[in-house]
Structure 1
Amino acid sequence: MGTFLYPVYTLASLGLAIWSFNLFADSHNINILLLISVLAGMIYDNLIVSVGRLINEGTLLESLNRLRFFFHNLFIPLLVVVAVKLACNVGVVWASHPIVCYGCWAIAFGLIAFGLLTEFRYLELAPTNFAGSLRYKPKSCSVPILTILTALLVGMAGFYIWRETQWPWMFVGTLIMFLGNALPASIFGTLVSSAVDFLFILGLVATELIVH
């Protein structure tokens, strides 16, 4: 199943990135550029899992998989900026305050530094086979604090955007992402988490299109 689904996830993310790039070409909105950066990381992530069987276990595949986690730590916190800017655009009071508007960048860079220094710096990987796919995953399972903090901030902004505009999909996408990633990896691997992560970003892109 993984040999089919991961290429589908790769193509879906690529299609969303191309669509987002066209939106950026028309609007030159920094938010869309940040979303494209996150989508680039998702494309790479799913692509490497898709071709893992072709490369086989070894130093090369381990290095390529290590980049998956690097891009995750580098790009995901940028969604905090996206969320705050979206909330500001629709008139959410707390997001419109200059301290919050500019402070979201400090929060994002702080989360990036936190992730690289705590999660990525000491990352040890081991090969794993699941549903016909071969990838490297962390040897020790720890709580993904970076992802949780980012998603909580995005979900909070999505809730207030829902209140202001009656558009719930940024909040709903965050909720779906939380629930999907809570499923046990021993049973579902990353098949479900990759799907809900795509829906999460789709909700953000759609919200950007609606509220801008």
Structure 2
Amino acid sequence: MDVWIYSALTLVYLILVVWMAVNLTRSKQWLTYSSFQLLVAFSLAYDNGIIAAGNVIGEGRLLMVLSSLRFWLHSFATPTLILVGYHILRSSGTKFANRRISEVAAWLITLGLVIYQIVGFTLSEVNHLKVIEEYGVLRYMAEGHGGPPMMVIIVGIVLLLVSLIVLFKHKWVWLFVGTALLFVGQLISLPVETGTLTNVYELILILSIWRTTTFLTDSTDRRRL
């Protein structure tokens, strides 16, 4: 069952990557912080794709190396959602987001989280991978892996605060729903035999972020007309 869910998630992410690329090209947004969403979506497409293909690739060196790249992509890509959050704040018309210090702070937090994740987790994780088979899926996981790391929690808290500002200023609820669902989903254990729930919540979050950035871009364009 899980292999089909991971495969479906991979397909949705790949479609989303193409959709994002087309929209970024049309709106000439490639040089904005919004484009980091493409990196995150691609990294999640890769993550789910390697998990889905685990049984086909089989246990061994190849799957271990491909799985290691999952952890590296996670370390570099996920923190850039801080920059996307900064872009959302600036696009929403939040005054303090237009200050240089806010942009510098966003970069410092992003780079700090990248370094923290690599030094504190990734270097150890990729050297302590073990193969597991769970819910019909074969994959390599880091020994002692459990629960979301602090980096993910910090990124989630920042996005949650951003979502509340957007909700207050624009009555736009979807970013709040996507972010809150990721937190709530970690706290509530649903009676289903699957290991894909967190991955599904991640997809909902990425969709809510993308929909929010396009909503704010469209709103800005309308105000300029």
TM superposition score category, shorter chain reference: over 0.9
Counterpart check, 1:128 vs 2:142: no
Deviations 1:185-208 (A, max 9, x none): 9x7654101111000000000000
Match of 1:147 in 2: 152
Contact 2:34 2:87 in 1 (8 A): no
Contact 2:2 2:194 in 1 (8 A): no
Counterparts of residues 15-164 of structure 1 (less than 5 Å)? 15-29=15-29, 30-123=32-125, 124-141=128-145, 144-164=149-169
Match of 2:220 in 1: none
Task: Flag the structure with larger Rg.
Answer: 2
Residue 154 of structure 1: how far off its partner (Å): 1.1
Looking at structure 1, the residues matched to 9 and 208 of structure 2 have their Cα atoms a distance apart, in angstroms, of: 16
Normalised by the length of structure 1, the TM-score is: 0.93
Residue 89 of structure 1: how far off its partner (Å): 1.3
Distance 1:150 1:188, change over 3 A: farther
Equivalent residue of 2:145, what SS?
coil
Looking at structure 2, the residues matched to 117 and 190 of structure 1 have their Cα atoms a distance apart, in angstroms, of: 27
Distance 1:174 1:33, change over 3 A: same
For structure 2, the residue ranges without an aligned partner over 5 or more in a row are 218-225
Contact 2:164 2:176 in 1 (8 A): yes
For structure 1, the residue ranges without an aligned partner over 5 or more in a row are none
Looking at structure 2, the residues matched to 79 and 46 of structure 1 have their Cα atoms a distance apart, in angstroms, of: 19
Q: Which amino acid aligns with 1:163?
A: F
Looking at structure 2, the residues matched to 131 and 175 of structure 1 have their Cα atoms a distance apart, in angstroms, of: 27
What is the percent sequence identity of the aligned residues? 25
Root-mean-square deviation (CA, aligned residues, Å) is 1.7
Moved more, 176-185 or 69-78: 176-185
Q: Which amino acid aligns with 1:33?
A: S
Q: Which amino acid aligns with 2:98?
A: S
Counterpart check, 1:192 vs 2:197: yes
Select the residue among 179, 186, 191 that pairs with 1:174: 179
Counterpart check, 1:165 vs 2:194: no
